[in-house]
Structure 1
Amino acid sequence: MSEETKSTTIAAASSKLTNAQRARIERNQAKAQKLREAKLVVHPYKNISNVNASEEPASDKGKAVIKVQGTKYIDSGGGFLLEQPVLPSPGEKSTAEAAAAEAAIIEDAIAIPVVYEECLDCGDQYADSYLFNNFGHSVCDKCRDTEERHSLITRTEAKAEYLLKDCDFDKREPILRYISRKNPHNVRWGEMKLYLHLQVLKRAMEVWGSEEELTRQHELREDKREVGKARKYNKQMKQLRMEVRSSLFTKKTHAVHEHEFGPDTYNEEEDNYTHTCLTCPYTETYEKM
């Protein structure tokens, strides 16, 4: 379509518009012109830049640039700043020189020595270990055996298996270290105290002296337990027999004896009669009217 045809079409369309529509179009065109002019205004912070215009990239032309402590920030106009690397000027130090200066400062700092421990199993040195941090047992993580040698045991199990008391854990030196864990059977119960099995066994040997003595103590307590069970059983059986006997016992009350008298005997001298009970020696004397 040629320009003459377009202009003819626009003129024909505008001739059909009403006065109100033409006035609204004119207002919209004036508003658009003002918006375009507003975008062309120089940024108010443009003059605070201390960076040469020749050093700015083409994409940063016309934007406010702020340089703070060797870092260049470009105002995006949207409420935030964009950080841009600043190229060193000929008079400034290069990156390598800055790194060398920083290394010199680090070398002047006080070096904190790292203490290494020696593993009791393999003999290697280590700086950090789970058993050493939690239980003070000098064994590295690669030698740790969670299933057998370095297994954990709860306080209740240790007291039952090695016949230890609370004072053996908390007061006897050195105090046994432990870790706390949630009870897997019920989270509402108190936390479990887990001890290193090796340390608990060593403490039991300190208390009882030898494994033979520990075994003998177990046997004595087992015998006492059996005697206690027998006493409890006999007491319960005795109480049960008493209850059974009392339920079968019925109190017999003596009935009133009724005399059954034999024939009467007349006594002429006293003029009376006498008869005797046939079942008992009772004798009754009476007079007949």
Structure 2
Amino acid sequence: MEDEENGFFISENTLIPSKKSLIDDLPYDTNTKCIYCSSPFIDNELHKTFAIMCCSQCRYKKLKFVTKTTAIKEYLLSDYDLKNLKYISRPNPHKGNWHDMLLYLEDEIINISMNKYGNEDALEKIKLKRTETIKNRKIKKLKIKIRDLKRRTFVKTTENKKHTHSFIGTDKLKTCEICGLTLEQEEI
């Protein structure tokens, strides 16, 4: 008998077996091993959300995750495309009160993107087209702002160039020497 230092004695036959003997005695199926390294320790979060048998070491080495924002920007997917996919939710690392980060499996995102656009070349063409339209919109907006600015500055310069009329002519019809304005006066 061994003293546990808590006032109890542990008999030798109830001692905790070593970790190796625990692994050998576990009643597990042949399917509950890691698909990459055959380890019996499966990451519960991955198994519950994605139904993937993967251990925690292989999770960070083999599996890649993509945030919702990068899936929308890089793979040109919409919210509707991502609606039925499974994801892991994490608190946003940039700011705590922002919306949670949604992490999707990169392989699933790539498969959906390839089904939607065909191949990577078509995806790149659409990305280029979108960037060009954004660039053209910005240029158009800038041109409108410049035109409005010119319009405002030209109006101010023309308003400052007022002149006083110097009329020449008979009593009834007078014309200005500078601008050619004609005035007709009637006697009452």
Scaled by the length of structure 2, the TM-score of the pair is 0.64
Residue of structure 1 aligned with 2:42, choices 125, 128, 146: 128
Q: 1:184 is matched with which residue? A: 93
Q: 1:236 is matched with which residue? A: 145
Larger Rg: 1
Q: 1:257 is matched with which residue? A: 167
Give the residue type in structure 2 aligned to 1:134: T
* Equivalent pair of 2:75/2:123 in contact (CA under 8 Å): yes
Q: For residue 132 of structure 1, report the CA deviation from its aligned partner.
A: 2.5
Q: 2:118 is matched with which residue? A: 209
Q: For residue 258 of structure 1, report the CA deviation from its aligned partner.
A: 6.0
| Whole-angstrom CA distance in 1 between matches of 2:169 and 2:115 | 90
Aligned-residue sequence identity (percent) comes to 28
Alignment CA distance shift 1:215-1:230 (3 Å): same
| Whole-angstrom CA distance in 2 between matches of 1:126 and 1:206 | 34
Q: For residue 254 of structure 1, report the CA deviation from its aligned partner.
A: 5.4
CA deviation vs aligned residue, 1:26-65 (integer Å, no higher than 9, x gap)? xxxxxxxxxxxxxxxxxxxxxxxxxxxxxxxxxxxxxxxx
Give the residue type in structure 1 aligned to 2:162: K
CA deviation vs aligned residue, 1:202-240 (integer Å, no higher than 9, x gap)? 221222121111111111111111211221121111111
* Equivalent pair of 2:87/2:103 in contact (CA under 8 Å): yes
Residue of structure 1 aligned with 2:76, choices 160, 163, 168: 163
* Equivalent pair of 1:114/1:127 in contact (CA under 8 Å): no
Q: 1:245 is matched with which residue? A: 154
| Whole-angstrom CA distance in 2 between matches of 1:234 and 1:210 | 37
Q: For residue 259 of structure 1, report the CA deviation from its aligned partner.
A: 6.6
* Equivalent pair of 1:182/1:192 in contact (CA under 8 Å): yes
Q: 1:101 is matched with which residue? A: none
| Whole-angstrom CA distance in 2 between matches of 1:214 and 1:186 | 32
Q: For residue 248 of structure 1, report the CA deviation from its aligned partner.
A: 0.7
Give the residue type in structure 1 aligned to 2:167: H
* Equivalent pair of 2:42/2:53 in contact (CA under 8 Å): no
| Whole-angstrom CA distance in 2 between matches of 1:117 and 1:220 | 46
Give the residue type in structure 2 aligned to 1:137: I
Q: Which runs of 5+ in 1 are unaligned?
A: 1-112, 261-278, 280-289
Q: 1:141 is matched with which residue? A: 56
Scaled by the length of structure 1, the TM-score of the pair is 0.43
Q: For residue 162 of structure 1, report the CA deviation from its aligned partner.
A: 0.6
Q: For residue 167 of structure 1, report the CA deviation from its aligned partner.
A: 0.7
| Whole-angstrom CA distance in 2 between matches of 1:183 and 1:117 | 32
Return the structure number with greater relative CO, CA threshold 8 A, min gap 6: 2
Aligned residue pairs: how many? Answer: 145
CA RMSD of aligned residues (A): 3.1
* Equivalent pair of 1:158/1:164 in contact (CA under 8 Å): yes
Alignment of 1:1-289 (within 5 A): 114-115=28-29, 116-117=31-32, 119-122=34-37, 124=38, 126=40, 128-130=42-44, 131-146=46-61, 149-170=62-83, 175-250=84-159, 252=162, 255=165, 257=167
Q: For residue 127 of structure 1, report the CA deviation from its aligned partner.
A: 6.5
